Amino acid sequence: MTDTIFSKIIKHEIISDIIYQDNLVTAFRDTSPCAPIHILIVPNLLIPTLNDVVDDHEVILGRMIILASKIAKDEGIAEDGYRLIINCNKNGRQEVYHLHLHLIGGCLLGPMSVYRDVK
């Protein structure tokens, strides 16, 4: 598998606002935020999509969720609420093929998009 932009951030080859990193996951601020708080949490192991997750990834995925909750508290958005999103493949609007969890909050978020018969 080839490196992604996230792989390069994990290895500190690209400068990013990393707010957490351990041997399993890295969290950093999104450079194009869609809310006042927009943090990406990624596994350090390159897993292209959610469809590529296997049983061996359970600890990594658990760490991502637990870290999201901790960061939400640290960022002061836990009480008012936040959203966690994982996009998968083209129709899910995945842009970087390195599994990542969006932690979004800091304002009243709009409704989730609904299906519209788009041609």
Known active-site residue 100: yes
118 vs 75: CA distance, rounded Å: 37
106 vs 78: CA distance, rounded Å: 9
Q: Which of 38, 98, 100, 102 is catalytic?
A: 100
38 vs 52: CA distance, rounded Å: 24
What are the residue numbers of the active site?
100
